[in-house]
Structure 1
Amino acid sequence: MGKGMGNADPSSDYLLNTSVQHRKTYGQFFTPPRVARLMLHWVLQSQPRRILDPAFGLGVFYRELLSPEVRTLMASAYQFITYDIDPLILSYSQDIASNSSLQILTEDYLNADIQGVDAIICNPPYMRFQKFLNRQELRPKLEERIGYKLKGNSNLAAIFLMKSLAELNPQGRLAFIMPFECFNTGYGLPLKQQLLRNKLLKQIILVQNEQDVFPNVLTTICIILCEKNNKNERVKLSSMDSQSTLEGLRDFSQWYQAQLPLEQLCGEQKWSAVFESTMVKLMTPTGFCSFSDYGRFQRGIATGANAFFALKPSQVEQFQLGDDCWCYCISKSQQIQDFMLTNGRLQQLVQGDKPVYCLDILNAETPELKAYISFGEECGYHQRYLTKMRHPWYKLERRQPSPLWVGVFHRQRFKVVRNLSNALNLTCFHGFYPNPFGASVIDKIFVYLISDMGQKLVKRNQRQYGNGLDKFEPGDLNQSLVPNPEQLQGMDETKVAKVLHLAQEDALGAIALSNQLMEPIYSGH
């Protein structure tokens, strides 16, 4: 069984050597080292001598504290006190267990009587209180400590936070990772009241794209920063939606998109509604128009039977179909992994024997084509819902290739493709058909769509399905916001061309440069 060394992250070893059920029993998921470092930056600014981690786990906070970058923030000696009830996970910290500044207690934090803590940093267990093994034994003491009756459906993370807030010294700081649901539920009411009444809450960082920042997490995550200074200060709101955003940060408290007076946060209301309304208002630049001013999105070609119509090159050869009875197409979203589709990339798909030939029958008189149509009828393709509505059933609608595609389904960022090939899109993409002016600024529209701001604004019109799956209909996209003609024409042409070049080889670089191009438009309004 592998053990982490120094400030290395041992989470990979632990995940490989433990079952999902074990981690579920203890409500374990893991803090990325970069997030841990940013949380430490907040709590260490008060120069704490006594630091508490109520759920030590693999020790990511202490390991990051040992890193040269973070260690320089500490001006004096400190004691790092930790709790965890899982002996297995603690066995992965043997490399640091003997450090004189670290005290590891294999005890239940909720049963601990601890006072006089200058800083608290924690990623608490995520589970319902009724699933916690010692809940009946702990309940009376906990309720006395936090001052209210616990509900069975309370998340254990909320209970950890309330207990920690009560143990924090005056002028002390706290950083907690929390499921955001805690601030939208009835059981979270006492927690919200405690944060507001005692003027503790200073910042909420909402992780909008949690799978990118927190892999294997199935709930919306937020990071809460608190300070026990009894000051009525405006609460900072931050929205993080990608790993690239995280990598560029040095200090959470200096990075935020909005501030709210403490009084605008009410214990009785869902905080997600407050957060969303504030960020939406902030994110809407003035002067934007809709996509319908530049053209229109249209669904991809619906064949009704892709197995018959979307052919691999080997199938075309097998059935001896001539070059005049097919056109190029993209039949599956997975076939496009980049921002650009060129004829060269299309030929790579052909060489990989992917289904990128779409049956396009102009003349059904050849024996080979007649035989293939008969084969389709033997398979029953002519009786499908869409095919039996067509006359003849094998004639598809005719289209010109669209220069810009947007993916129909997505879970995080929606897919955008600048189509420089002569391929058509089937229903996995919606195609944008520009009017004459839209055609003249199509590359700039592409830049907008791949930028972080474009993604956020267009996703306001998405339709949400279960399990984090989102979808666009063509009308949703046509009504979405896009910079007006004057704003688009003001973009630096040289940099736009560079985005298109980067889009073929460096997706993150293309996004970063697109964000730079969009910044003057956003900040100027």
Structure 2
Amino acid sequence: MNVTLTESRRVLRQLQLDEAKTKAERNKLGQFATPIALAADIIKYAKTLLPTDPKIRFLDPAFGTGAFYSALLQQFLPSQIVKAVGYEVDSHYGNESIKLWCETSLKLHIADFTQAVPPNSDLAKANLLICNPPYVRHHHLSRVDKVRLQRVTEEIAGIKLSQLASLYCHFLCISDAWMAPDGLAGWLIPTGFMDVNYGQPIKDYLLNRVTLLRIHCFDPTDVQFEDALCTSAMVWFKKALPPANHVVKLTYQGSLIEPKMSLMMSVKSLRQTANWTQFGLVSAGGNSPEQPLKLSDLFTIKRGLATGANRFFVLTSEQVYDYQLPKEFLKPILPSPRFLGVDEIEADPWGNPILENPLFLLSCDLPPDEVKTKYPMLWDYLQRGVKQGIRDRYLCKHRSPWYSQEKRPSSPFLCTYMGRRDTGRGKPFRFILNHSRATATNVYLMLYPLPILAQALLDKPELNKQVWQALNQISDQALMGEGRVYGGGLHKLEPRELGNTLVEKVFDIISI
């Protein structure tokens, strides 16, 4: 068969098949086709890891239309491919793939790989597995599927994944039963497992049960899949226990064949590190990880409050006036960072923030009967929320009463929860100095000083500004190294991640 011609037909059919589905349908099944050039690079790199004249038993557990198989046929002679097996759960793609590759020896199963029975003989198992598994987040998995996948993964790989784990984590672990000893695997997966808690078992598997060869992290601003907002990594390993003193190659940005950055890390170092993406940031920024204090040594860090319906509970002065809402149930609250034009928030004599467009949080702990009797205007406004379905939203219906808010007192220091570097500021995160009594929503992280620091600030209020300035001197690389990054270069920091950030200048200022 003419492989080049078939590849052209495959690309055309891929586009047609994708267009026949909505974006929501493809997202639900995690169907993001591998770009042609990327698939070619992956197979070219695999060729450098294989013997000179290999006898390939190929497996792709999430076949799609066969981007990897097509690249395989272009890189290897037919005599070198002794077996090729694929699985595709969606017949929409699977049936077309069978037609496309009917002249080859490919055996394609239209079935769920996670429920298939692996071969009994090592000679029947794959010695080259290349896969771009479905990126199905746990929200799209049923409770029954989560329990089944968790059980199968533990039986095969000996690790127990969290029920927060995405489907690709299960694919990687379940494939262990399909690989021959010393077989090579290349997985194109999101980088999320490298930084989040649910990814720790995956990292344990890669470090302890197989020989991790290389991880390449693509540039987060160069999204590999146009309609998938995630940053991708290529993970390579051999099915064999790691040798003593084994080192892993970590590469960043650029292409798989020509990365921009490269470093070697021992398995021991990786075992002791929770966040693997930080190595590339540290390498790029040149900052030293040797610092004496973490922010968690000085602050309790919490996400701002989640109202469940900001448009209903966060009100302008005009709305407060129009609806005649009682002031005792209103508290000043900061606008989202994109509408906050200052980094230092001054306060009036009553502690209200001096902002051009002040906002107020509605929260009331009184039972409905008392509100209806004593505060008829507030009651009328709450009925609007009932009619709009606000009361039945997830967070609201789990509060009692539904119009009360979680307690988040104001904090003197805040940090934005997410951001990009390609903004006018050129910084993904901002530290805010708050002199007011305003609280904040969950687009901020709130830093509450621990007792020793709180006492120092109470004794010398002028230190607040110096502490804030010290926070702003924390390098972007240090913050991004602790956080996580998503497609398009969106960086996020959770409270624990911000708490892990190393800092020394605050210590110098307060002279504890």
The normalised TM-score by structure 1 is 0.49
Answer whether contact 1:50 1:79 (CA < 8 A) is retained: yes
Partner of 1:178: 189
- 1:98 aligned counterpart, secondary structure: coil
Q: What is the 5 A alignment of 1:193-342? A: 193-232=204-243, 233-240=246-253, 245-246=254-255, 251=257, 257-266=262-271, 269-281=274-286
Give the deviation of 1:61 after TM superposition. Answer: 0.6
Give the deviation of 1:237 after TM superposition. Answer: 1.4
Distance 2:198 2:158 in 1: 14
Distance 1:158 1:236, change over 3 A: same
Distance 2:183 2:234 in 1: 17
- 1:66 aligned counterpart, secondary structure: helix
Distance 1:150 1:198, change over 3 A: closer
Give the deviation of 1:226 after TM superposition. Answer: 1.0
Distance 1:113 1:130, change over 3 A: farther
Distance 1:225 1:256, change over 3 A: farther
Distance 1:277 1:82 in 2: 39
Distance 1:201 1:256, change over 3 A: farther
1:408 is aligned to 2:432: no
Give the deviation of 1:94 after TM superposition. Answer: 4.3
Partner of 2:43: 40
Answer whether contact 1:235 1:261 (CA < 8 A) is retained: yes
- 1:21 aligned counterpart, secondary structure: helix
Distance 1:466 1:207 in 2: 11
Distance 1:222 1:61 in 2: 16
Give the deviation of 1:411 after TM superposition. Answer: 11
Alignment size in residue pairs: 294
Answer whether contact 1:14 1:89 (CA < 8 A) is retained: yes
- 1:209 aligned counterpart, secondary structure: coil
Paired residue type of 2:109: L
- 1:265 aligned counterpart, secondary structure: helix
- The alignment yields a C-alpha RMSD, in angstroms, of 3.8
> After alignment, is 257-266 or 231-240 more displaced?
231-240
- 1:187 aligned counterpart, secondary structure: helix
Distance 1:469 1:36, change over 3 A: closer
Distance 1:213 1:154 in 2: 21
Answer whether contact 2:87 2:108 (CA < 8 A) is retained: yes
Alignment partner for residue 108 of structure 1, among 106, 112, 128?
A: 112
Give the deviation of 1:164 after TM superposition. Answer: 1.9
- 2:80 aligned counterpart, secondary structure: coil
Paired residue type of 1:14: L
Distance 1:87 1:149 in 2: 30
Distance 2:91 2:235 in 1: 28
Give the deviation of 1:119 after TM superposition. Answer: 0.9
Distance 1:466 1:126 in 2: 14
Paired residue type of 2:281: E
Answer whether contact 1:258 1:279 (CA < 8 A) is retained: no
Alignment partner for residue 161 of structure 1, among 147, 167, 172?
A: 172
Paired residue type of 1:18: K
Give the deviation of 1:145 after TM superposition. Answer: 1.8
Unaligned stretches of 5+ in structure 1? 284-384, 386-405, 413-457, 472-525
Give the deviation of 1:95 after TM superposition. Answer: 4.0
Q: Larger relative contact order (C-alpha < 8 A, sep ≥ 6)?
A: 2
Distance 1:126 1:110, change over 3 A: same
Answer whether contact 1:43 1:120 (CA < 8 A) is retained: no
Distance 1:52 1:274 in 2: 31
Distance 2:425 2:36 in 1: 31
**What do residues 258-277 of structure 1 show as CA deviations (whole Å, max 9, x unaligned)?**
11122110266121234432
Give the deviation of 1:129 after TM superposition. Answer: 3.8
Unaligned stretches of 5+ in structure 2? 120-124, 289-355, 357-421, 429-474, 492-512
Distance 2:40 2:278 in 1: 29
**What do residues 390-430 of structure 1 show as CA deviations (whole Å, max 9, x unaligned)?**
xxxxxxxxxxxxxxxx9727899xxxxxxxxxxxxxxxxxx
Give the deviation of 1:235 after TM superposition. Answer: 1.1
Q: What is the 5 A alignment of 1:494-513? A: none
Paired residue type of 1:62: Y
Q: What is the 5 A alignment of 1:143-154? A: 143-154=154-165
Distance 1:277 1:469, change over 3 A: closer
Paired residue type of 2:217: L
Alignment partner for residue 92 of structure 1, among 92, 96, 99?
A: 96
Paired residue type of 2:56: R
Paired residue type of 1:35: L
> After alignment, is 186-195 or 51-60 more displaced?
186-195
Alignment partner for residue 24 of structure 1, among 27, 35, 45?
A: 27
Give the deviation of 1:212 after TM superposition. Answer: 4.7
Answer whether contact 1:462 1:470 (CA < 8 A) is retained: no
Paired residue type of 1:43: A
Give the deviation of 1:282 after TM superposition. Answer: 9.1
Paired residue type of 1:265: L
Distance 1:236 1:467, change over 3 A: closer
- 2:271 aligned counterpart, secondary structure: coil
**What do residues 229-273 of structure 1 show as CA deviations (whole Å, max 9, x unaligned)?**
545332111112xxxx43xx6x47x98521112211026612123
Paired residue type of 1:160: F
Give the deviation of 1:100 after TM superposition. Answer: 3.4
Answer whether contact 1:5 1:95 (CA < 8 A) is retained: no
Distance 2:103 2:109 in 1: 14
Give the deviation of 1:201 after TM superposition. Answer: 0.9
- 1:107 aligned counterpart, secondary structure: coil
**What do residues 412-450 of structure 1 show as CA deviations (whole Å, max 9, x unaligned)?**
9xxxxxxxxxxxxxxxxxxxxxxxxxxxxxxxxxxxxxx
Distance 1:197 1:88, change over 3 A: same
Distance 1:5 1:25 in 2: 31
**What do residues 116-143 of structure 1 show as CA deviations (whole Å, max 9, x unaligned)?**
2111100001123452356145543343
Give the deviation of 1:210 after TM superposition. Answer: 5.0
Distance 1:88 1:205 in 2: 31
Partner of 1:290: none
Alignment partner for residue 119 of structure 1, among 122, 128, 142?
A: 128
Give the deviation of 1:160 after TM superposition. Answer: 0.8
Partner of 1:6: 6
Distance 1:260 1:282, change over 3 A: farther
Answer whether contact 2:89 2:111 (CA < 8 A) is retained: yes
Counting aligned pairs with the same residue, the percent is: 23
1:15 is aligned to 2:22: no
- 1:214 aligned counterpart, secondary structure: coil
Paired residue type of 2:58: I
Distance 1:214 1:203 in 2: 21
Distance 2:178 2:279 in 1: 29
Paired residue type of 1:181: G
1:81 is aligned to 2:97: no
Partner of 1:289: none
Distance 1:217 1:255, change over 3 A: same
Give the deviation of 1:181 after TM superposition. Answer: 0.8
Answer whether contact 1:127 1:156 (CA < 8 A) is retained: yes
Give the deviation of 1:25 after TM superposition. Answer: 2.0
Distance 1:143 1:231, change over 3 A: closer
Distance 2:57 2:486 in 1: 44
